[in-house]
A = this chain, B = another copy of it.
Amino acid sequence: MNSRQMVLATFIHNSGAHPGGWRYGADADQHDVDHYVRLAKTAERGKLHCYFSGDQQGLPMIKGRDAYAATDYAGKLEPTTLLAALAMVTSDIGLIGTVSTTYNEPYAVARRMASLDHITKGRAGWNVVTSAGNSEARNFGHDRLMDHDLRYERAEEFVDVVKALWDSWEDDAVLRDKASARYFDPARLRQLNHKGRFFNVAGPLNVGRPPQGHPVIVQAGGSGPGRALSARTADLVFTAQSSKDKAVAFYDDMKARAAAFGRNPAHMAVLPSVQLLVRSTEAEARAAQEELLHLIPDALAWATLQMQIGFDLSDYGPDDKMPDIPLTNGGQWVQQELVRMARAEDLTLGQLAKRATVSRASFSMAGTPEQVADMMEDWFRAGAADGFSLSPNYLPGGLEDFVDQVVPILQKRGLFRTEYQGDTLRDNLGIPRPAHAQMGHEPDLWA
């Protein structure tokens, strides 16, 4: 079938996206690779386009010792090593990992992602983020977080340098010609000699051009600078949108921004994240939703709200309304979505805290498989989404329920494929392989 179909990803968040998820689901050990192997195989069984592993470079800050102890945030596996392992137990699904531009060097990230693209044989993706926590800053020699806009300026240059490093080898640079004693063709390697505001990088990379040319670029920034970075560089845009109308507005804005950069908007897929809970009946779905909510300690909800709005609520109580707060230097999009939600729905801080803890400003729904499929079809046809990033509430059950109960309905409706259609993640997404950018100088290493 040739009509447009959904792109589906799954965002694997520790033991589940719902803060009550780890107490609800199976006894998942976040330090055991087998937990993730099971999830990746399940996602591949469902023919999902990609498995997405998030990351931070430190512990997220949540005030209150008991609140913290109730979360599954403190420890888990690092994405690039985890995804390389998952490459060996899967064969088709894309493997996307978060690597920050804030405390890393572009040469190091370019080679790890290039290596991952070779190991996955063309299934790697890089989620480009900036690190937004003071606790992360303090693990890397800084007293506090870098300024928000400065972080994004650094990210822009970082992505450009990484892409140039991936292009520092032409596709056919490796010869392995034993007779002529030429392992590679030196004329097909290039130096960048990049000298920028943040980075000076000579190159060439010491890994050959990735199978996909460039691993798939993923971005999720919702602020102005974040949207600009996405529109210019991202192949996949992940976003948290609390309603279909807001998602349509975001979708239109992003497609227009991509076009303004001279890009084909169809080559950038916009995927709102959805937290889904699937049960055979509405009543069962509502009951499961209530049980999950019940499993979140109040202290954790309150601490999470403070973290997400970047504001100390010690002077307020759960029955108060949202005060006026200054723009955070952290994740501005999430902050503003929560403020907007509190005002629009006239929520108390206590109500908002539970909402913030559950959904992080993304769309959350509990229902039957048909209801969930209806919602997805509605958003998809309304121009709110090219597909979705599923954040299962609890793992592994939440993902298994989706794959076994919702995917078949989407397939029957012709909204989702029944088989992987290409060899690489780009093939499967229908996003073209970037041509090699001719650039730079022959390396002076052999001058």
Contact = CB atoms under 8 A, between A and B. Distances in A.
B446 A62 contact: yes
Nearest to A61: B445
A111 to B, nearest CB: 5
Given A68-B186, A69-B184, A80 B112 contact: yes
Contact of A80 (B31, B56, B61, B80): B80
Contacts of A447: 63
Interface stretch (A43-51, A100-108, A264-272, A377-385): A100-108
B75 A208 contact: yes
A340 interface: no
A107 B119 CA distance: 25
A199 interface: yes
Q: Is the interface of A mostly helix, strand, loop or mixed?
A: loop
A11 B204 CA distance: 25
A112 B205 CA distance: 21
Nearest to A33: B119
Contacts of A87: 33, 85
A200 interface: yes
A297 B443 CA distance: 21
A90 to B, nearest CB: 10
Contact size class for A?
A: 35 or more
A78 B205 CA distance: 11
B206 A115 contact: no
Nearest to A103: B105
Given A23-B181, A33-B118, A81-B81, 5 more contacts: A27-B178, A75-B208, A78-B207, A81-B112, A103-B105
The 10 closest A-B pairs by CB, nearest first: A138-B202, A78-B115, A88-B88, A84-B84, A81-B84, A65-B446, A75-B208, A107-B139, A68-B446, A23-B178
Interface of A: 22-23, 27, 29, 31-33, 56-59, 61-65, 67-72, 74-78, 80-82, 84-85, 87-89, 103-105, 107-108, 111-112, 114-116, 118-119, 121, 135, 138-142, 169, 173-174, 176, 178, 181-186, 189, 199-208, 295, 297, 443, 445-447
16 contacts: A23-B181, A31-B208, A32-B118, A33-B118, A57-B107, A57-B206, A58-B107, A67-B446, A69-B182, A74-B208, A75-B207, A78-B115, A81-B112, A82-B115, A138-B200, A181-B297
